[in-house]
Amino acid sequence: MLVGRLPRLLLAVVAILMASIATTQAETQYVTDQLEITMRAGESARYKIIRMLASGTPLEVLDIKPGAEYAKVRAENGVIGYVLASQLQKEPAARTQLAELKSRQTELEQAPTALTARLTALQTEHSTLLDDAHALKQAKQQLEQELATIRHASANVLGITEERDQLRIQFNELRREYEELIQIHNDTQHQIKQHWFMIGASVLIGGILLGLILPHLSFRRRKSRWSSF
């Protein structure tokens, strides 16, 4: 009896292992090109329909039992149910692929226009950069000229400053000489005043002496005349 049950036990173990492997290795498959298919709550048509799936809807396959008619799947919104395994395929629906190809074709057709617009923008930007570079070059030349002018003016300022210092020294020397001449003039004027004061005093004293002496001289002359008579 036990020997007869071993193949069945082995088959059950293999089935369990196959189911576990199918569960762990989930893959994404797609609804076929049929218009719509049903997602049911169980693995037969007796179960209620959970939702209708449009062609090209991506589904995550959670479990496909060997020889089973239905596959356990999960939709993008997280809803889990069962669909006919024959209605799944590994590639997206042809209409989806066609739409993607058309979209890609449209992008490729628009690419030259976009590249042309980009090239035009780059050319405009390049022209703008050239204009800016030319303006910067002119500004640089102008700044160099102004710097040369400032340097020349600075050199002139240094020369003017040295000349002003020399003139200031000469002016101070001339003012000192002028002050010395003024002092000499004042001293000379003072000496002249003293000299004239001495002359005036001498004349005054001489006049006084004459005034005192002359009367005596005239008196003696008269007296001598009287004595002669």
d(CA 45, CA 186): 145
The answer to whether the beta carbons of residues 39 and 82 sit under 8 Å apart is yes
d(CA 47, CA 61): 19
170-197 per-residue burial string, b: 16 or more CB within 10 A, e: under 16: eeeeeeeeeeeeeeeeeeeeeeeeeeee
DSSP character string of 80-119: EEEEEGGGEESS--HHHHHHHHHHHHHHHHHHHHHHHHHH
| pLDDT tens, residue by residue, 86-126 | 888 887 666 566 667 777 777 777 777 777 888 888 888 88
Residues of the chain with pLDDT > 70: what percent?
A: 73
Residues of the chain with pLDDT > 90: what percent?
A: 12
| pLDDT tens, residue by residue, 165-209 | 888 888 888 888 888 888 888 888 888 888 788 887 888 887 787
26-92 CATH fold: SH3 type barrels. (2.30.30)
Which range has the top average pLDDT, 53-67, 145-159, 209-223?
53-67
- Any idea where the domains of the chain sit in the sequence? 26-92
Q: Is 42 left (phi over 0), alpha (psi -120 to 50) or beta?
A: beta
The tokens for 36 are 């719509």
pTM over 0.85: no
List of long-range contacts for 84-89, beta carbons under 8 Å, 24+ apart: 84/37, 87/31, 87/32, 87/34, 87/37, 88/29, 88/30, 88/31, 88/32, 88/59, 88/61, 89/29, 89/30, 89/32
Q: Give the count of beta carbons closer than 10 Å to the beta carbon of residue 99.
A: 13
